[in-house]
Amino acid sequence: MTILVTGATGTIGRHVVDHLVERGADVRSLVRDPAKAGLPAGVAVVQGDMLDVESLRSAFAGASTLFLLNGVLADEFTQALIALNVAREAGIERVVYLSVIHSDLYVNVPHFAGKFGVERMIERMGFEATILRPAHYMSNDLTIKDVVLQHGVYPMPIGARGLAMVDGRDLGEIAAIELIRREQADGPLPLDRINVVGPETLTGENVAAIWSEVLGRPVAYGGDDTAGFEQNLRQFMPGWMAYDMRMMAERFLTDGMVPEAGDVERLTTLLGRPLRAYRDLAAEIAVLA
């Protein structure tokens, strides 16, 4: 019984693999360059690409459960549908899919709409699946830590509605728990959706205040300029992706990422411990600065 993990060398995928290994699972990872994978001992590493059907067939052969993670790419939707079809060919029935919270609400945001399409495909194909819907990753703020530390400004335009940002370590552990639950089930389990959130719903002003407390000096919120956000992102990512991120930020401002009733309690019970807070991440960054 083998759990196949795609995206295993990324930020979230590594946490998933680590937690599966800790729990004694038989893990196989699909990676582009095995020489650079750096995964734990005992993890079977298979070279492949999400658009290389033959490599997927080789990687999926003999696997019993699939963790499907697709990066935010122009062909993300195509990659996911190919993977699901190959999985079905290989006889894989159990899937844990990494989607995003409010995928059915942020309908104008390309990567949200794509993930919602994948969710519907999973349902229509009849997989026994858990669909994880995480909120915004806390770790995304690692990309702007220098702005916070050097200029005293929190520049992410996250608005006043609030985001229930999640720590990637919590997300990885929850994914591993769900993968093992499905892998070890005696019979079919119904499709389930889990909103994966953090313990607090934070506004831009809230996050700036946390940084001020952690650093012991004022940090201001940079405001809700999504056009400027897009222009800044264009310096280090393709224009289509920067625009996608702008569309997401605009939905932050109008809708936020607010948990449903009972989400935090469900996750706390699943993990058997409290969820990690944003302040914990800020403090870790401050110590290393």
19-36 pLDDT tens trace: 999 999 999 999 998 888
Q: How far apart are CA 147 and CA 167, in angstroms?
A: 21
Q: How far apart are CA 190 and CA 89, in angstroms?
A: 21
| Average pLDDT score over the chain | 96
Q: How many CB atoms lie within 10 A of CB 4?
A: 29
Q: Which fold has domain 3-135+168-197+259-276?
A: Rossmann fold (3.40.50)
Per-residue pLDDT at 13: 95
Please provide the size of the chain in residues: 289
Category of 119 on φ-ψ map: left (φ > 0), alpha (ψ -120 to 50) or beta:
alpha
pLDDT band at 166, cuts 50/70/90?
Answer: very high
What single letter denotes the amino acid at residue 92?
I
Category of 62 on φ-ψ map: left (φ > 0), alpha (ψ -120 to 50) or beta:
left
pLDDT (tens digit, 9 = 90+) per residue, 118-155? Answer: 999 999 999 999 999 999 999 999 999 999 999 999 99
What single letter denotes the amino acid at residue 160?
A
Average pLDDT rounded to a whole number, residues 211-217: 97
pLDDT band at 174, cuts 50/70/90?
Answer: very high
Token duo for residue 82: 């190919």
Nearest CA-CA partner of 102 in 79, 136, 141? 136
What percentage of the chain carries pLDDT values higher than 70? 100
Q: What is the pTM of this model?
A: 0.95
Q: How far apart are CA 27 and CA 96, in angstroms?
A: 14
Lowest-confidence pick of 36-40, 98-102, 121-125, 178-182: 36-40
DSSP state of 66: E
Per-residue pLDDT at 35: 85
Q: Among the residues of 152-262, which ranges form H helices?
A: 168-183, 204-215, 226-233, 239-254
